[in-house]
Structures are given as C-alpha cells and as structure tokens.
Chain A
Amino acid sequence: MTVAVPEILAPAGTPAALEAAVDAGADTVYCGFRDATNARNYPGLNFTAAELRDGLAYAHARGRRVNVAINTYASAGNTRIWHAAIDRAAELGADAIIMADIGLLDYAARTHPALPRHLSVQAGAASAESIRYYYEFFGISRMILPRIFTLDEIAELKARVPIEIECFIFGSLSPMSEGRCSLSAYATGRSPNLCGVCSPAEFVRYEAVQGTLLCRLGEFVINAFEAGEPAGYPTVCKGRYLAGEDEAAYVFEEPECLNAAPYIGALRRAGIAAFKIEGRQRGRFYVTQVVAAFRELIDAEARGEPPSRHTAALERLRRLAEGGEETTGAYRKGWR
C-alpha cells in the first residue's frame, strides 16, 4: 500500500515570509491576524485583512493553501474580536482555521460550516477520547498534536480517530503543557493562551553587566549568559534557576529545538497528514531555509532515501536551532 507524502505546513509572521514559504516549497502556510486572536501576537508581526487577501491570492495562484490561526481563548464577555477574525478568515477565503476555544469552535461551526476547522495544539487534546469529542461536537477535520506523544502512541492514536493528524517536525518547544501554561502570566500578567503572547517583548530586557548578559522578564532575572554562551528565547520555561543546587540550572526545559527529521518515515507510515514547522515569530530567511530543507528531506524519504544522508540540509537546520541544540523531543523518549 502506498502511503501519501505528508504536506509541509510552514509558518508566516509577515507577507514576505508567506511568499518565501510558498516559493521554498510549502504546501500550506499558516498565519494570524494582527491582534490577540492568535498565539504569536508580537510587535510588528502578523497580517492585516488586506495583507492576508494578497497572501491568499499568492498562494492559491500557485496551488497552495493558507490556514489562519485563531487559536487563543476568548475573553469572558468580549468575544467580538475573535468572532470578527473568524468572519474575516471565512470572507477572505482561508482554506482552514486553527482553533482551540470550544465557544469559538461552536461559533465557527454554526456560522461558517463550510470552512474547515483544525484543532490547535493550544487545545491540549491529549487522548483519543478528547480528540473524538472535538470531532463529534465541533466537526474538526484535523488535529494538531501536542508535542507529548511517542511515535508508537501517534500510530495508535491515528488508528483510533477518524480525522487527519498534523504533528510538529521542527521548531522551538514549550514545556509540554500547551494551552495550559501560565508561567508567562505569572511573570508578566500576559500569556499565550489569552493574549497570544508568551514573555511579551515589552517585559524583556537584556543588560550587559561585566561581560555577562542578564535576561530580565518583568521583575525577574531569568537567565544569565557568559560571553559566547548560546542563548534561547527569554521565556520563564527556558530560564535557569537555583533549585537546591549550587549553580543555576534549567529546571523546566533547556533551550533546544525540535528536529524530528530522523522520524519522517515513521511518521509518514503512521498516517500523519501534515508536518508542521514552528516559528511564525522568525524571519523569512528561517522560513525559506527550514521549508527548503524539509522539502528536500521529505521528498527524499518518499523516494526511499534516508534523510540522514542529506547532511547539508540537516546542517542548515542545526544552524537555526534555538540554543544551538536539537532534540527529537517526545517522539522517542526514554523518560516518562
């Protein structure tokens, strides 16, 4: 039996990144509007309605798709901007919307039933029963898996749910509590779940102090880097803390980048429909490099070539890794 080649889903924080993703070989691009309705609400990022219209035209003219992330949780009593975002995505002709909030899923299902709904990783649906619930009540056609499953679990899950499954193949990791993490809210009062932003840039300060680079988030010093030491994103989960040790250490997570290139074949055989690349906050160079590398690796694997032979593409990916380190995350974890 021939197993279909999964599509590549590329991030785009800007119009230039969207065009770069399409040009580099992405099958689908995902992006968000310039407000708190999406989980990458950073300064100068995301799309106006006019920019998304142009982006859709660019992608569709080349036979590609654009999915719109509306994947934060609406504020109680103030769903206006989320409903407006859903309406706008439908009106502009988005190919799918990526959502987490059940109230918004219900609104989208009732108001725009023909617009495909994908369940965001932010929903944190982590069992076949949970995914089936979203499918039966809100008609989701695709599930984006939280980054907590092993390869064996994914294969088992796929056999038990009646929808497409999308999984992350590359990019920064969060502490495996997607949609439920409140670390940023603790330090700054704002979180990716409600405000679309983790460690808001306006709360981040880097200061050079006697050769050491101090990283502050709000009132907290969350990390300190010696000269030349690789750095990561200024998030609480990637800070170093004194926790019963003499030296500060990464107690939540080290700054690493998921790279599941070694498992392209295993994931394809498990029936994965799409490989997702994280990084809407990154620039067009990142998008071009990562999409082109995975286009090469995925096409090679489909021809029966091991991705490991494509050393130049793998090296280009490594150069872009957060903290300069890569991990295969939970896909083959020896810990539990």
Chain B
Amino acid sequence: MALPNSLAARRPDPRDLVVSLALATLPRPLIAAMLRRVARSLPQRLAGRLAELEGKRLLIVPDELSYAFLLSFPHGRLTIGLLDPPAAPPTDAQMQGPLRLFYDLVRGGDDGDALFFSRELAVTGDMAAAVALRNAMDGAGVDLFGEFLALPAPFGPLLRHGGAALERCAVVLLGPLAGRTARLEAEVAALRAEVRRLKQGAAKPRAKPPSAPPPMPGMQP
C-alpha cells in the first residue's frame, strides 16, 4: 500500500520514526552515549565551520520530548548534552519547534529561513550563533541520521530493523489520513492561487502617505 504521491514526499522518513522512537523511549544515559558517538564521527570539514562557535552554547528544545539538547563547541568539536529545559543553564541561543523540523534541518530536507518566516521554528537569543550553526551543519552536507543508524551493533542494526517495522505500521495507519490530507492540500493550493490572481488584479493597498516632507530628490519611488 502506497501513500498518495503529493504527500509521500512529506510523510515521515523511516529513519525519523526510528530515531523518534529511540529518543522517546531509551534511557537518557544511553541516548547521551549514542549522541557522543555520533558527534565524534562527524567529518573533519565540519570543524572549521564550528570553530566560529567556540565558547557558545545553544539549546534545542523539541516540542515532543521531555528533555532538551545542549550543544557546545570546544575546539571546533560538537558536544551534545541532555537536560530538562527548566534546569537549563543560560545559553547564547535557543531554538524550539516540532521534532520533525530539526530532522529536516539536520539532513537538509527543509529551509531554516522559510521555517522561521512561517514561524514554525522559533529562534531567540544570539542570532550569529544560531546562523553559524545552521550554516555549518547545512554546509557540510552531514547526514546525522546516517551516522546514527550506522552505529555499531547492537544499536545500529536494532534501530534499522525497528525502522523498517515502523515504516510498515505507518503506511497502514496513516494511508487513509494521508489521502484526505492530500486532497485538502490540493484544495488549499487552488484557493491560494485564486487569491493571488485576485490580489494581482486589484490595486495594492498602500499606507496613507505622510503629509510632509516630500520625497528627497533622486530617491527611488
């Protein structure tokens, strides 16, 4: 059974499912150990870009998890710690949003700026640190999920097999819902296109111009 095409591209990646399951159910010390291994295995080309983040600490708060990730960057290396959000120390920047957004950002499956424009992703604090991290991860083309699933036995094989089983369950459970959502998406897209056509046909409302002073000579209107 396959999902409708329009939604198939947006359904959860099997790897998302298995990583989510691991993050939600495994004991924190085990998750922390796995993250340490993944962080150590990141390619050297990331180090030069992470060097700009020396001394910075960033907090990533996924909506669905009971804990947050604390990222720090000693000597151009990435370290990831787990903590309760209320117990978090002061950090330079904070990012909060649904877990799937972070998955997409990590593997280059979505655009950080567009997520920010649409307000799906909240970023507060030191924007230079947040931008540097985004650019470093995105620019290195790192596949953190690949690293996660390539962990040595028993973790890697266990996660991979679990992912395949979850994928089958997701298709069965989500298939009918996906079809309905795809139809609604198509209707919304058609309505948006119609609204745009109407807006383009009408004069654009402008703010009332100030009474004075007049534009400076030579300025573009």
Which residues on the A side are within 8 Å of B132 (C-beta)?
Answer: 43-44, 201
Which residues on the A side are within 8 Å of B122 (C-beta)?
Answer: 208, 213
Q: Is B135 within 8 A of A43, CB to CB?
A: yes
Q: Let me know if A150 is at the binding interface, CB within 8 A.
A: no
Q: Which stretch (A66-74, A263-271, A278-286) binds chain B?
A: A278-286
Q: Let me know if A219 is at the binding interface, CB within 8 A.
A: no
Against B, the Cβ 8 Å flags (1 = close, 0 = not) of A293-328 are 000000000000000000100110011111110101
Q: Let me know if A202 is at the binding interface, CB within 8 A.
A: yes
B111 interface neighbour in A208, A244, A282, Cβ under 8 Å: A282
Q: Is A44 within 8 A of B112, CB to CB?
A: no
**Least Cβ distance of A266 to chain B in Å?**
16
Q: Is A14 within 8 A of B48, CB to CB?
A: no
A19 to B118, CA, bound (A): 27
A321 to B136, CA, bound (A): 23
A-B contact count (CB 8 A): 140
A294 to B221, CA, bound (A): 30
Q: Let me know if B11 is at the binding interface, CB within 8 A.
A: no
Count of residues in A whose CB is under 8 Å from the partner chain: 64
Q: Let me know if B113 is at the binding interface, CB within 8 A.
A: yes
Q: Is B108 within 8 A of A16, CB to CB?
A: yes
Which residues on the B side are within 8 Å of A232 (C-beta)?
Answer: 117
A208 to B132, CA, bound (A): 21
8 Å CB interface, B82-124 against A: 104-105, 108-114, 116-119, 122-124
Q: Is A44 within 8 A of B109, CB to CB?
A: no
A243 to B203, CA, bound (A): 22
Q: Let me know if A109 is at the binding interface, CB within 8 A.
A: no
Q: Is A14 within 8 A of B221, CB to CB?
A: no
**Least Cβ distance of B59 to chain A in Å?**
14
Q: Is B141 within 8 A of A285, CB to CB?
A: no
Against B, the Cβ 8 Å flags (1 = close, 0 = not) of A30-45 are 0000000000001111
**Least Cβ distance of B63 to chain A in Å?**
15
Against B, the Cβ 8 Å flags (1 = close, 0 = not) of A237-249 are 0000001110001
8 Å CB interface, A80-129 against B: none
Q: Is B119 within 8 A of A225, CB to CB?
A: yes
A46 to B135, CA, bound (A): 9
Q: Let me know if B126 is at the binding interface, CB within 8 A.
A: yes
Q: Is A43 within 8 A of B119, CB to CB?
A: no
Q: Is B135 within 8 A of A318, CB to CB?
A: no
A16 interface neighbour in B128, B140, B221, Cβ under 8 Å: B140
Which residues on the A side are within 8 Å of B119 (C-beta)?
Answer: 213, 225, 227-231
Which residues on the B side are within 8 Å of A177 (C-beta)?
Answer: 219-220
Q: Which residue of B lies closest to A255 (CB)?
A: B117
Against A, the Cβ 8 Å flags (1 = close, 0 = not) of B33-46 are 00000000000010
Which residues on the B side are within 8 Å of A15 (C-beta)?
Answer: 45, 139-141
**Least Cβ distance of A292 to chain B in Å?**
13
Q: Is A16 within 8 A of B125, CB to CB?
A: no
Q: Which residue of B lies closest to A334 (CB)?
A: B203
A44 to B135, CA, bound (A): 5
Q: Is B131 within 8 A of A201, CB to CB?
A: yes
**Least Cβ distance of B4 to chain A in Å?**
13
Q: Is B192 within 8 A of A19, CB to CB?
A: no
A-B contact pairs, 7 of them (CB 8 A): A16-B138, A20-B108, A42-B131, A43-B129, A44-B139, A177-B219, A320-B114
B residues bordering A, Cβ < 8 Å? 45, 48-49, 52, 104-105, 108-114, 116-119, 122-136, 138-141, 189, 192-193, 196, 200, 203, 207-208, 210-211, 219-221
Given contacts A15-B140, A311-B193, 13 further A-B contacts (CB under 8 A): A14-B139, A16-B139, A17-B139, A43-B128, A44-B134, A48-B48, A206-B124, A227-B119, A229-B119, A231-B117, A233-B113, A315-B192, A318-B192
Q: Which 5 A-B pairs have the closest CB atoms?
A: A14-B139, A44-B135, A16-B141, A43-B132, A44-B132
